[in-house]
Amino acid sequence: MTDKTFYDRIIEDKGVFDKVVYDLELMIKDAPNPRVRTQAEFAKTYLVQVQAICEAIKKHNDSA
């Protein structure tokens, strides 16, 4: 196991997260019903927030 923190792995896997966000956008656009669309919107929002939080934590720790 590596010594990388959770937020380091999230930041380094940005390409994977961007692909997931793109897939969620397609799911939102092509959702078969409102419930699926709503769940995909929540997932996308939370994923973007996780990325922002991880970047803020890393920035804070790097400056400390």
Q: How confident is the model at residue 61 (pLDDT cuts 50, 70, 90)?
A: confident
The answer to whether the CB of 41 falls within 8 A of the CB of 27 is: no
What is the CB-side half-sphere exposure of residue 33 using CA atoms within 13 A?
1
The pTM of this model reads 0.77
What digits encode the pLDDT tens for the residues 20-52?
999 999 999 999 999 999 999 999 999 999 989
Q: What's 30's DSSP letter?
A: T
Q: CA nearest 53: which of 11, 14, 13? A: 11
